[in-house]
Amino acid sequence: RKEVEQDPGPFNVPEGATVAFNCTYSNSASQSFFWYRQDCRKEPKLLMSVYSSGNEDGRFTAQLNRASQYISLLIRDSKLSDSATYLCVVPSQDSGYALNFGKGTSLLVTP
Amino acid sequence: GAVVSQHPSRVICKSGTSVKIECRSLDFQATTMFWYRQFPKKSLMLMATSNEGSKATYEQGVEKDKFLINHASLTLSTLTVTSAHPEDSSFYICSALGSTSGPDTQYFGPGTRLTVL
């Protein structure tokens, strides 16, 4: 299994919809997980950190299932500005604090 | 807080020249910084881990003699792409390990887009 695998996407959803992204990881020892957002030709920006079973921040909810080594990101009431690539990120098994990035899931929210 | 800058943001150079990219943590000290590379429509790939005052640790397949890393202070790491070739054209992003939002949160610089002609 690759270290981090994500839904391939792209996801095209209308404004106001709820959309969920899934991510599986291979490092069972990981204690922290992250969702980053990356806009086209820009650097990734931290969206959410997950250290326990989940985290919620406004319209965004991340859930963690350690038994299945699975993380999800739920976006409610999608906005046009949510259009971006969402990266699932898990600390590397081999490189200290270095991060392993998933390939990202592209989201396009349409009017 | 937790701002990381990179310079230059974009560089175009001829094949065979060397390019230096700077990564600075502006409002915090970072003993550890990371250098990533991202090719179009691909995920970020870690190139090396840069530790202040010691040699960088390179990932498998990354040539340490081609990608020189110097982390001489707690707020600055530099990546020098020596004798750049067109296949080195990529988006280079640094990150700095900070503790503002958690023990292992990384803050990314805005990236440097390198184009080698």
Substitution target in A2, A38, A43 with the highest count of B β-carbons within 10 Å is A43
Q: Is the dihedral of CA A98, B86, B115, B79 positive or negative?
A: positive
Count of alpha carbons within 13 Å of A80, Cβ hemisphere only? Answer: 2
pLDDT digits (tens, 9 = 90+) for A16-58: 999 999 999 988 888 888 999 999 888 898 898 888 888 899 9
* pLDDT tens column, B68-96: 999 888 899 999 999 999 999 999 999 99
Which residues are paired to A44 by β-bridges?
A38
Of the residues B6, B44, B46, the best mutation for testing chain A's interface (the one with the most A CB atoms within 10 Å of its CB) is B44
Mean predicted lDDT score pLDDT of chain B:
90
Neighbouring residues of B55: CB distance < 8 A, sequence distance ≥ 6? none
Is residue A77 left, alpha or beta, with left meaning phi > 0 and alpha meaning psi from -120 to 50?
left
Q: Report the distance separating Cα B3 and Cα B28, nearest Å.
A: 8
The strands making up B19-25's β-sheet, listed across from edge to edge, are B4-7, B19-25, B76-81, B67-73
B33 reaches A (C-beta below 8 A): no
CB under 8 Å to B16, separation ≥6 — which residues?
A: B83, B84, B85
| CB-based contact A78:A103 (threshold 8 Å) | no
Residue B102 has pLDDT above 70, yes or no: no
DSSP B16: T
Of A32, A45, A87, the CB nearest to B104: A32
The answer on pLDDT for B103 being more than 80 is no
Alpha-carbon distance of A64 to A66, in angstroms, equals 6
% residues pLDDT > 90 (chain B): 65
Tokens for B33, please give them: 């910084």
Residues 50-79 on B with a CB inside 8 Å of A are 57, 59
